[in-house]
Amino acid sequence: MKEKIVIIGSGFAGMWSALSAARLIHLHNRDDIDVIVLAPKPELCVRPRLYEENARQMVSPLLPLYHSVGVQFFQGTAEQIDSAQKRVVYRDCEGKAGQLNYDRLVIASGSRVKQDLVPGIKEHTFNLDQLESAAVLERHLQDLPSQPDSAARNRVVVCGGGFTGIEMAMELPTRLKAALGCEVEVIVIDRGASIGSSYSAEMQAVIKEASEELGVKWLLNASIERIEPEGVLLKDGTFIESKTVIWTVGVEASPLTAHIEAPRDDKGRLKVDENLRVIGQRDIYATGDVAHALTDDKNNLALMTCQHAIPLGKFAGHNVAADLLGVAPLAYRQENYVTCLDLGAWGAVYTEGWEQKVNCVRQEAKKIKIAITNELIYPPKADRDVVLSIADPLAPFV
């Protein structure tokens, strides 16, 4: 009877886990191990691009890719992990319950934006968390010209000045001015004391320059009391009217991590060893946004981004297959770290290293950003030899 590797999730980490596991199994000429992906849809949502226009197009089909290397796909949403019985309970697209037994499990179920931080988030904000929610925001922006001209219509509030918040805010002035035919106001509300406070001083200066040139305003040292139908109420009593409030604050790991008896961090990520095996679990690995993993020997942690999800996926897939094959695993290491932040019509900023030293800006950086998000992070073509080559955890990435 064949052994089964079940991978929950078909995002960057889940997809690459499957391809990497298939690669190692192929290299050992084994046909007694099945690699199975369980996910709601057989497609990759390119989440790093959801702030752009045409959000619905930010997907890539995966069935041809999986078929090229013999990976099986089950369409369904995982609802429960029973580690004692080594099975995953899921619900298919028709609402019927099913289960998958596994010999080894890889949890790659991703993350989600937190919507319980202040009252009114679920009811009165938009977000870029998933393809569907990004499409809802896009339809709303497209409908704004049909609404009566007002300050609230022409003002967008972005809650949070992190990576997603900045890219969304910088994208909006040009897009909305073209749609509305008038000047628009984009305000970023952030608790930090400076623009882009989570980044290096050098990078902050670039973000500030771009913000000023594009007319994006920052409201700093600000805390939100609640979101109302007409806008945002701050804790100091200030009320900002807006028809468009976008929430980008707070990300947490998939709730499936709570089904595993293991230590987790404050984001709900499962703590793993250097081979990405969940601490205290013999048969379960975690990768991507659900893994609390060290990238190097300097105590740098993998971030919840595709830059880390892709290599994490490759290492997890390799190691889970190696476990069944009885061969040595590869310790996850990712020494290089870069940041490429889109700054709308101004351009972009590209930095290298954890100290975020600015390497280039404006259109030079924009070219790098486009190369990363439009080419580098997309799945390879459905050619077995190409896939097996790129799925090697030791193959160059960034």
* Domain covering 131-247: architecture: 3-Layer(bba) Sandwich (3.50)
> H/E/C letters for each residue in the chain?
CCEEEEEECCCHHHHHHHHHHHHHHHHCCCCCEEEEEEECCCEEECHHHCCCCCHHHCEEECHHHHHHHCCEEEECEEEEEECCCCEEEEECCCCCEEEEECCEEEECCCEEECCCCCCCHHHHCECCCCHHHHHHHHHHHHHHHHCCCCCCCCEEEEECCCHHHHHHHHHHHHHHHHHHCCCCEEEEECCCCCCCCCCCHHHHHHHHHHHHHHCEEEECCCCEEEEECCEEEECCCCEEECCEEEECCCEEECHHHHHCCCCECCCCCEEECCCCEECCCCCEEECHHHEECECCCCCCECCCCHHHHHHHHHHHHHHHHHHHHCCCCCCCCCCCCEEEEECHHHCEEEEECCCCEEEEEHHHHHHHHHHHHHHHCCCCCCCHHHHHHHCCCCCCCC
Tokens of 45: 């949502």
Mean pLDDT along residues 229-251: 97
pLDDT digits (tens, 9 = 90+) for 72-85: 999 999 999 999 99
Q: What percent of the chain has pLDDT over 70?
A: 100
Beta carbons of 290 and 111 less than 8 angstroms apart:
yes
Residue 149: its pLDDT value, please? 95
* 397 — pLDDT class (breaks 50, 70, 90): confident
Is the Cα dihedral 339, 341, 346, 347 positive or negative? Answer: positive
Beta carbons of 316 and 329 less than 8 angstroms apart:
no
Identity of residue 213: E
Mean pLDDT along residues 302-314: 97
Q: How many CA atoms lie within 13 A of 65 on its CB side?
A: 23
Q: What whole-number distance in Å separates Cα of residue 167 and Cα of residue 194?
A: 17
pLDDT digits (tens, 9 = 90+) for 318-353: 999 999 999 999 999 999 999 999 999 999 999 999
pLDDT digits (tens, 9 = 90+) for 180-205: 999 899 999 999 999 999 999 999 99
Q: Give the residue with greater pLDDT, 34 vs 181.
A: 34
Residue 398: its pLDDT value, please? 58
Same fold, 3-113+251-335 and 131-247: yes
pLDDT digits (tens, 9 = 90+) for 126-176: 999 999 999 999 999 999 999 999 999 999 999 999 999 999 999 999 999
Place of tokens 């009165």: 124
Say how many residues make up the chain: 398
| Residues sharing a CB contact under 8 Å with residue 175, sequence separation 6 or more, in sequence order | 53, 141
Identity of residue 295: T
Mean pLDDT of the chain: 97
Tokens of 75: 């369409």
Q: What is the pTM of this model?
A: 0.96
Q: Where are the domains of the chain?
A: 3-113+251-335, 131-247
pLDDT higher than 90, residue 396: no
Superfamily of chain region 3-113+251-335: FAD/NAD(P)-binding domain (3.50.50.60)
Compute how many other C-beta atoms are within 10 angstroms of the C-beta atom of residue 285.
27
Beta carbons of 63 and 42 less than 8 angstroms apart:
yes
pLDDT digits (tens, 9 = 90+) for 270-299: 999 999 999 999 999 999 999 999 999 999
**Triad 338, 344, 347: Cα angle to 5°:** 60
